[in-house]
Every structure is written in C-alpha cells, then in structure tokens.
Amino acid sequence: MAFALRRSLRASNPTFKQTTRLSGAVRRNGPSVARFQSSLSGAQSTRLADIDASKLQVRPREQPKELPASSTLKFGHTFTDHMLTVPWTVENGWGTPEIVPYGPLLLEPSSTVLHYAQTIFEGMKAYIDSEGQVRLFRPNMNMKRMNTSAKRIALPTFDGEALLNLIKELVRVDKRWIPKEPGHSLYIRPTLIGTQKAIGVSPPNEALLFVILSPVGPYYPDGFKPVSLYGTTEYVRAAPGGTGAYKLGVNYAPGILPQTHAAEKGYAQNLWLQGPEHYLTEVGTMNMFVTFRKPNGEYELVTPPLDGMILPGITRDSVLALAREHISGKNALPNLPKNLTVSERPVTMKEVKDASLAGNLVEMFGAGTAAVISPVNKIGYLGEDVHIPTGEDGMGPISRPIWTELVGRQTGAIPSDWSIVV
Amino acid sequence: MAFALRRSLRASNPTFKQTTRLSGAVRRNGPSVARFQSSLSGAQSTRLADIDASKLQVRPREQPKELPASSTLKFGHTFTDHMLTVPWTVENGWGTPEIVPYGPLLLEPSSTVLHYAQTIFEGMKAYIDSEGQVRLFRPNMNMKRMNTSAKRIALPTFDGEALLNLIKELVRVDKRWIPKEPGHSLYIRPTLIGTQKAIGVSPPNEALLFVILSPVGPYYPDGFKPVSLYGTTEYVRAAPGGTGAYKLGVNYAPGILPQTHAAEKGYAQNLWLQGPEHYLTEVGTMNMFVTFRKPNGEYELVTPPLDGMILPGITRDSVLALAREHISGKNALPNLPKNLTVSERPVTMKEVKDASLAGNLVEMFGAGTAAVISPVNKIGYLGEDVHIPTGEDGMGPISRPIWTELVGRQTGAIPSDWSIVV
C-alpha cells in the first residue's frame, strides 16, 4: 500500500528520479497511511506537517564511491555515498524527506545561516556489533536535545522519532561504510540550518535539516594518550543567560582562537574557566570530570552542574549513570572502587590545584561522543603547570572501568537498553 | 596594460566567460602590475596572496532583473543583479575576485559555517547624491572592523582597501539599483564564511568572502516612530570574555528568541540588560544612547563604553564624534544645545528609571546602519513601564540635530570627509 502511494507521488513530482523500497523499520514506525493520503490529496490541515518518515524518497548514487582504508580515516574528513535532507517552510511545515547522493547544497547568499549563525547540530555514532548488526547509542537523547536546541535559536522543532527512523534508514543505506575494526564507528551529524532568503534578524520562514555520515577511527589510534590543557581565563565559552547549555553552532567557532592560543603555548586543548573564581566548565568541546580523594579515603567523581553554561552531554549523562548504578548496587562495575561518591557541583581551579599539591587529585578526563573518554595529565594555569596523575594506560582508576562498560554498551558487547539495533 | 594582462588571463582560464573593462578607481588603486605579473607567471611567493582588485573578473547577468518600485522594498528582501565573490585557501591565500550574477552558492554540507557558525559580516550603505554621484559612508571603518572580526573567529584577514575597491566596482555595476528617493539607499552586505569541507573544530583551510546588495527604503517610511523596548534580564547578548565586541554571526541568531518574547509582551524590540546591576548595553541589534538632564541643567549624552561587550558601531562612533565636535566648537550643529557633555560610561536601569520618575530623562535612542537613529518611548522593566520623553516628530532635542547632520553627511548634502564618492 505504502509502495503504491509512493508510485503516485513519483508521477506527480518531476524532480523525482528513482525510488527504492524502504526497509522494514521505516514502514513499521511511520505515520499511518491515512495521514499520508490526506497530505497527498492536498487537504489543508490546521496544523503544519511534521516530519513524516513514510514519505521518504530515496535516490541512490549511481556510482558508489570506493571505500577508504580504515587506517587512513581522519575525523570528519570522509563522507559516505548519501545524505538525508528534509526541508521546512513556515507555510507548510516539514516537507518530503529525501536520501540523495552526498553532494553540495545550493544556498542563497542571503540565507540566514550564512549571516546570523542560525544552525544547530548533533553528534552520534553507529557501531557494527560482533554479529554484524548496526547499533546506535541512546539516539533518543540526541533527538530530544536537538529539539531543545532548535527552540532556543528559533528553528522549527520536529517529531524526534520520525527523524530517528529516517537516520536509521540512511545508516542502513550506507551500512557498508561502517568500519568494522575495534574503536571504529560511523559518525552521524544531523544539522538544521535557517535558510530564509532575506537578511532580517527574525525567525526564519525556511529551514533545512540534513544528516551526513562520516566513517571514523578511534580517537587515540595507539591507545590512550593523556592530553595537556591550557586553562583559558581570557575568553569564555558560555556565560549566565547565554547559549552554553544548547548544542548550537554559535558555541563552537568562537572557541577556535582560544584553542589556537592553547596550542601556541604547547597545550593540546583548552580548559574553559568561568568567572573570577575560575570555575572549570568544559574541556575544548567535551564535558569535564575530575576525581578527588577525600580525607576519609573515599573517591569523589565530580562534574560541573547543568547550570545553563554546561552542555548536557550524552557521554556525560552515561558516565554519571554508570557511576551511580555502581554505587547503588544496581549494576556494580568490575574494578571500580566501591567507596565512590558522585557529585554535580562547581569546581574551581584552586580546588584542583590544592588537591594536586596535596596528592588528593586522582584523575581528570573529558567526555564526549567523538573521543568518549579523554584523560588529562596537566593544566597550564596562570603561568604554571598543575600536574594530574594518569595510569599506565593513560586512564585512571575511576575512568578505566567506566570507559570499559561504556564502550561495551556502545558496541553491543555488553547488553543494555542504551544500545538500539538499527 | 592591465587590459592586455586580463586578456591573457582569459585565455588561460577555461571557466572565464566574459570580461568587462574595469572603471577607473580599481585600476588606479589596484596593486602594481609587477605583482600581478608575478602571480600570473606562477612564481611561488613566500607570503600568501592578498586580495588583488586588479585581478577582478566580471561576468554580467545576461538578462538583468526588473527594478522593483521603491515603495515595495522590504529591508533585506530584494537583491540586485550581481554579487562579488573572493575565495580563499590556506595554501594559496586569496583567489580571483569575481563579480557574477546574483545566485545560489554551492556549499558542501560539511562546510564549517553550517556546523560551527564561522561567519562574520558588515552592513554599509550607498547613497545617490543630488548630483547623481554614488556615495559610501566611512567605509574604511567597515573594512577595519571586518578584519578585527575575522581574527577573532579564525577567518583569514585581507587588504581592506582592496576589498573596498571591489565593493565600489560592484556598486558601480549595479548602480541602477540604488533608489533615488529621500531616505532610500543600497544596503551593502559583505560576508565571510568558513567553507572547510570537514567537520573538525579548527581554523578553516577554505573560506569564501561574498558581497551582496539590497535596495532599501527608509526604516520609518511615515516619519519617525518611537519604539517600545522590553528590558531583557533572562538572556544576555554578550558577556565578559565573549564575542559581543565583534561583528560575528554568532551574536545574532541567539537574539531572535528574546526578541520574539519581547514582541509577545507587546514591545517592538528588546533592550539587553547585563549582570545583576542591569546595565543597559544594546537595543536589539543597535547601539544605545540615553540623554539625562543634570542638576546644573546640562545635558549628558551617554552610551555604554567599549568594554568588550559592546559592538563598536560606526553610527555610534559618528554620533559621539558629531556631539564632541559640537562641544569643542570645531563644528557647532544648528539647534543642538551648547550645555552638553558626552560620556562613554555604564548606565543601569535604576539610573534610567530614577531619572524618568524625577523628570530628568531627556531621551533615549538606538543607533545603527539600518535605522540610523531609532527613538525609544518606553521600556518594560520588571513588570512596569519606564516612560521616556519623545518630541513631536519622535526624536528628542539631542538626537534631532545630530540625525540631521548625520544624514546630511551620509547623503552628501552636507560636505564632509566621511562621505566617499564611488
């Protein structure tokens, strides 16, 4: 039935070239055929159209690209055969989703995104498990966050489940691009941009959602390598009343110059310090964790609270959840100390420096989708280096067992409801 | 000579279609022929190429568009026949400037600007004077600010004089688009975007500078209409250590939601209040001025200082300069009070509210390229309205004579070295 309807759509759309059958999931989870028919018949609805996965049109690339050797992959430089696009207009809402050959977008030079930075994005990964199945990690959190970001910057929101079904279909179409080597994955980049063809600063009347895929290798191909950080006090990533808690493009480009300054001073990344107290907030483009040893011998795993300046990272949330499940006994992790507490609270550089000097600093690490866990070995702060312990393999006693569980769940090696088979 | 060289360039460039002769200014002000020859001969230079106006190629639109009636113009919605593009790569620096028919850009979906908001822009205006000459207003300030913005967001800098020569040529090519009616002008929008084809957060290896032109009518077609402001305390436009002092795209899209909230509450624009003290910073996308009457009867014209959170506006600078020249006697303005002082200092909402209640608030206005001067008649602040006096024509005793002089200089009716004949 759905296939027949798609054929009639094909006849009515002169730009349409070729339709392939959708695989099961999109048909099963898609909106009802009745809704699909009503939009085809041109009936005016009082509500604008949401994303409708059942309307997906697929135009495969005629000449698939050659797969690069996994060893040559550089993060975010290689893209797959296809991309997903979903247009939006203020008059009609979300339009026809299309999977088309990866290629340049035609954008009017007046497009809002090019002038006023109206863009949001997400970062997700697809893994191949030992049985050859494709897995996504907590993708509903990305869909939810993307809608929160859209609202903040006056872009249209959407049915997250519908977009997720479309992303799954895109990943299925380009499944051969998912590298199978350990630590490899397919990075998924959903992006939503304002494309209004006028240079007024106002909610856009047009937008474009697109999803591109990039096969990536492990962040540390030769094993974990702790990074050094430069404590940035000259610039801020976020501020009270600002946009730091949302995954908006505007939080990224302004960080490149501070990152360059850190590199010039010989550090790998920058650590964003906030306010006169020099609160630790984030590491480059990652959330940040630090572990202290308390006077009673307990470990305290600390990350800054979601106070409006911190991105609610999915890796951050996963690290917290795993540590808390361990403490509660719901899911004790092998080799993770039992005498552990977890805090979401502010941390100052003074506290970190004092703990380092007193020998009570256990470890520090960044957490994010790209690197998963990124251990830190020193912080350049006001002209001197604060030293941070690292284990033989780079990681510390808290991060190592958490990383093992996290990567196990991501790749499907450890069963959990966080991992979704596509 | 330059023409002969251009002919040889034409022969060597298969994408080149048609070259028109450059008018005088570009030839006169362009770099030396020797430099032009050396770059044509393929000699490797140790420095990357800067923008070279003498290399301009012009490909005119085959079918010019029909001019819209000036009365139908809506700000930033209509664009002229042509645009200017100048590509940049990290290997070769700035490439060949081209004036081509206005039309969509082809951008890879991985382009930095679409993900990380790497974009800067400027706003300028061209006017037709009573003798039919085209005039720009203090354009060197735009070129200087654009370079400052580029540095802040890791985009390439350039020879501002060369870009200005190219902009002049573009304006000449599309001169017929400059509306001649009073208060009308041609809005010029130079934009520079990061176009690296990879989704890493780093300085881009490719960028594109483009300039588009939009004929615009007066901001207030029926005379000055004071606007009401909503004092925004829930969001900030800028913060210490942030990007508020630069003309980056990232400062604009996040302001749309606060602006929408202001509109929902019945106010025309929002007033950005900073910190627990509620310092006045900017009005929507304009700089802000307020005039107090002091106990000794003097007027004090106040605008917030350039403390890193305020855009160094060219209209702001012009208002300050005109008031100071008046006070110093260098150029006394008709009808502007003599007992006037000018301050760049912080102003809190408490000071404004107290002055309003005490009858010592004289006027308040926004200042920017689009509206020039935009008088304010009230501020919604913490649940009540602070009333601001306005004159019969909307403007007050300080803004009116300054506006008259400013517009006179912009349009060339009042001679000054601020106005440049193209």
Distance CA A279, CA A305 (A): 11
CB-based contact (8 Å) between A263 and chain B? no
List the single residue in A with minimal CA-CA distance to B190: A115
Q: Predicted confidence band at A421 (pLDDT cuts at 50, 70, 90)?
A: very high
Using DSSP bridges, classify how beta strands A287-293 and A299-303 pair: parallel, antiparallel or unpaired. Answer: antiparallel
For residue A225, what pLDDT is reported? 87
For residue A223, what pLDDT is reported? 76
List the single residue in B with minimal CA-CA distance to A285: B201
**Type of residue found at B229:** L
Residue B273: its chain A contacts at CB < 8 A?
A: none
Q: How far is B253 from chain A (nearest CA, A)?
A: 5
Tens-place pLDDT, residues A167-225: 999 999 999 999 999 999 999 999 999 999 999 899 999 999 999 999 999 887 777 78
DSSP label at B398?
A: T
User: Is the Cβ pair A242, B239 closer than 8 Å?
Assistant: yes
Q: How far is A350 from chain B (nearest CA, A)?
A: 20
For residue B220, what pLDDT is reported? 76
User: Is the Cβ pair B257, A152 closer than 8 Å?
Assistant: yes
Q: Predicted confidence band at B146 (pLDDT cuts at 50, 70, 90)?
A: very high
User: Over pLDDT 70: what percentage of chain A?
Assistant: 89
Residue A241: its chain B contacts at CB < 8 A?
A: 234-236, 239
CA end-to-end span of chain A: 23
Residue from the list A106, A199, A256 with its beta carbon closest to the beta carbon of B189: A199
List the single residue in A with minimal CA-CA distance to B211: A109
Distance CA B95, CA A344 (A): 50
Residue A114: its chain B contacts at CB < 8 A?
A: 105, 113, 119, 191, 193, 249
Residue B284: its chain A contacts at CB < 8 A?
A: 201
- Model confidence, pTM: 0.90
Q: How far is B301 from chain A (nearest CA, A)?
A: 28
For chains A and B, count residue pairs whose Cβ atoms are closer than 8 Å: 200
User: Is the Cβ pair A105, B102 closer than 8 Å?
Assistant: no
Using DSSP bridges, classify how beta strands B82-89 and B206-216 pair: parallel, antiparallel or unpaired. Answer: antiparallel
- Mean pLDDT (chain A) is 90
Query: Which H/E stretch holds residue A274?
Result: strand A269-274
User: Is the Cβ pair B240, A241 closer than 8 Å?
Assistant: no
With vertex at residue B221, the alpha carbon angle to CA B215 and CA B225, rounded to the nearest 5 degrees, is: 130
Residue from the list B121, B194, B253 with its beta carbon closest to the beta carbon of A153: B253
- Interface probe with A: pick from B199, B259, B264, most Cβ of A within 10 Å: B199
For residue A46, what pLDDT is reported? 54
pLDDT, mean of residues A60-70: 97
**Residue A105 near residue A157, CB atoms below 8 Å:** no
List the single residue in B with minimal CA-CA distance to A121: B115
pLDDT, mean of residues A16-24: 38
Residue from the list A77, A191, A248 with its beta carbon closest to the beta carbon of B114: A191
Distance CA A138, CA A417 (A): 8
CA atoms within 13 A on the CB side of B279: 19
Which residues 153-182 of chain A have a CB within 8 Å of chain B?
153-154
Is the pLDDT at A5 greater than 50, yes or no? no
pLDDT, mean of residues B301-315: 98
Is the pLDDT at A31 greater than 60, yes or no? no
CA atoms within 13 A on the CB side of A40: 20
User: Is the Cβ pair A154, B110 closer than 8 Å?
Assistant: no
Tens-place pLDDT, residues B41-72: 333 345 899 999 999 999 999 999 999 999 99
- State phi, psi for B271 to the nearest 5 degrees: -110, 120
Residue A243: its chain B contacts at CB < 8 A?
A: 254
- Interface probe with A: pick from B201, B278, B286, most Cβ of A within 10 Å: B201
Which residues 360-379 of chain A have a CB within 8 Å of chain B?
none
For residue A221, what pLDDT is reported? 74
For residue B46, what pLDDT is reported? 54
pLDDT, mean of residues A321-327: 98
Is the pLDDT at B195 greater than 80, yes or no? yes
List the single residue in A with minimal CA-CA distance to B284: A201
CA end-to-end span of chain B: 23
Q: How far is A329 from chain B (nearest CA, A)?
A: 39
CB-based contact (8 Å) between B416 and chain A? no
Is the pLDDT at A132 greater than 60, yes or no? yes
Sign of the dihedral defined by the CA atoms of residues B394, B396, B401, B407, in that order: negative
User: Is the Cβ pair B115, A234 closer than 8 Å?
Assistant: no
Residue A252: its chain B contacts at CB < 8 A?
A: 115-117, 201
For residue A60, what pLDDT is reported? 98
User: Is the Cβ pair B254, A108 closer than 8 Å?
Assistant: no
Tokens of A324: 């808390």
- Interface probe with A: pick from B250, B271, B277, B369, most Cβ of A within 10 Å: B250
User: Is the Cβ pair A117, B212 closer than 8 Å?
Assistant: no
Residue B108: its chain A contacts at CB < 8 A?
A: 104-105
List the single residue in A with minimal CA-CA distance to B85: A109
pLDDT, mean of residues A343-365: 98
Q: How far is A40 from chain B (nearest CA, A)?
A: 29
pLDDT, mean of residues B345-360: 98
User: Over pLDDT 90: what percentage of chain B?
Assistant: 85
For residue B47, what pLDDT is reported? 80
A19-23, A67-71, B276-280, B402-406: least confident range = A19-23
Tens-place pLDDT, residues A232-274: 999 999 999 999 999 999 999 999 999 999 999 999 999 999 9
Is the pLDDT at B7 greater than 70, yes or no? no
CB-based contact (8 Å) between B277 and chain A? no
Write out the DSSP string of A349-395: HHHHHHHHHHT-EEEEEEEETTTEEEEEEEEEETTEEEE----TTS-
Residue by residue, what is the 3-state secondary structure of B64-107?
A: CCCCCCHHHCCCCCCCCCEEEEEEEECCCEECCCEEEECCCEEE
Residue B117: its chain A contacts at CB < 8 A?
A: 117, 119, 248-250, 252-253
Which residues 74-103 of chain A have a CB within 8 Å of chain B?
74-77, 79, 83, 102-103
- State phi, psi for B53 to the nearest 5 degrees: -65, -25
**Residue B118 near residue B204, CB atoms below 8 Å:** yes
ipTM of the complex: 0.90
User: Is the Cβ pair B153, A257 closer than 8 Å?
Assistant: yes
Tens-place pLDDT, residues B150-172: 999 999 999 999 999 999 999 99
Distance CA A203, CA A120 (A): 14
Residue from the list B110, B121, B284 with its beta carbon closest to the beta carbon of A115: B121
Distance CA A291, CA A274 (A): 19
Residue B79: its chain A contacts at CB < 8 A?
A: 109-110
List the single residue in B with minimal CA-CA distance to A188: B199
Beta bridge partners of A192: A120, A209
For residue B223, what pLDDT is reported? 76
Q: How far is B99 from chain A (nearest CA, A)?
A: 14
CB-based contact (8 Å) between A242 and chain B? yes
User: What residue has token string 């017929």?
Assistant: B176
